[in-house]
Chains A and B, each alone.
Chain A
Amino acid sequence: MNLIEWAQSPWGQQVPVHIGWSLLWVSAIGGLLFLIGHAIYVAYWAKPAHAHSNASAAAASGVAAQVPERVARHSLGARLFHLIMAISMFALLLTAFLPKVGVRFPWVTYHWIAGIVLTISIVYHIIHAIFWLDFWSIWPDEEDREDAVRRFRRALGQSAPAPRKFAKYPLENKLYHTIVMLAGLAVVVTGVFMMKRVQTPFFIRNPYLFGDMTWGWMYVLHGLAGIGFVGLVTVHVYFAIRPEKLFITKSMIFGWITREQYLEHHDPQRWPVSEEASEAGPSKSTKVPA
Chain B
Amino acid sequence: MAVIHDVIPAFELFQPMTVDDALVLQSRYGAKAWVLAGGLDSFDWFKDRIKRPEVVIDLSQIKELRGVRTVSDGIEIGAMTTLTEVVRHPMIREKYGILPKAAELAASPQIRNQGTLGGNVSQDARCWYYRGGWPCYRAGGNICYADTPSGLNREHAILDADRCVAVNPSDTAPALIALDAKMVVRTPRGEKVVNAEDYFIGPGIDITRMTILQPGDLLTAIRIPSTWAGAKFYFEKVRDRNVWDFALVNVASAMVASGNTIERIRLVVNGVAAHPVRLTAVEAAVAGKPRNEETAELAAELAVRGAKPLQHNGYKVPLMRNLVKRAIRGVVGEEAA
Contacts and interface: CB of A to CB of B under 8 A. Distances in A.
Interface of A: 5, 7-10, 12, 14-15, 17-18, 99, 104-108, 197-199, 204-208, 215-216, 219
Interface string B125-149: 0000000111100011111110111
Nearest to B132: A10
B32 to A, nearest CB: 15
B206 A104 contact: yes
Given A7-B141, A206-B149, 4 more contacts: A8-B3, A199-B163, A205-B148, A208-B149
Contacts of B147: 199, 205
Contacts of A219: 142
Mostly, the B contact residues are: loop
B141 A106 contact: no
A99 B205 CA distance: 8
B145 A17 contact: no
A23 to B, nearest CB: 15
B148 to A, nearest CB: 6
B135 A8 contact: yes
Interface of B: 1-3, 132-135, 139-145, 147-150, 161-163, 201-202, 204-206
Nearest to A18: B142
B202 A17 contact: no
Contacts of B140: 5, 7, 17
14 contacts: A5-B140, A7-B139, A7-B140, A8-B3, A8-B133, A12-B2, A17-B142, A104-B201, A108-B162, A199-B161, A205-B147, A206-B149, A215-B142, A219-B142
A108 B205 CA distance: 10
A106 B205 contact: yes
A198 B142 CA distance: 10
A245 to B, nearest CB: 39
Nearest to B163: A198
A40 B1 CA distance: 50
Q: Most chain-A Cβ atoms within 10 A of its Cβ — which of B3, B135, B150, B202?
A: B135
B45 to A, nearest CB: 15
Contacts of B202: 106
A74 B140 CA distance: 44
A105 B163 CA distance: 14
Nearest to B308: A199
B52 to A, nearest CB: 13
Contacts of A9: 135
B163 A17 contact: no
A1 to B, nearest CB: 14
B149 A204 contact: yes
Nearest to A104: B205
Given A17-B135, A199-B161, A204-B149, A108 B144 contact: no
A215 B134 CA distance: 15
B135 A207 contact: no
The 4 closest A-B pairs by CB, nearest first: A106-B204, A7-B135, A17-B141, A207-B143
Contacts of B144: 207
Contacts of A12: 2-3
Given A7-B140, A197-B142, A219-B142, A108 B204 contact: yes
Nearest to B134: A10
Nearest to B214: A102
Nearest to A10: B134
Contact of A207 (B132, B148, B162): B148
Contacts of B150: 208
A234 to B, nearest CB: 26
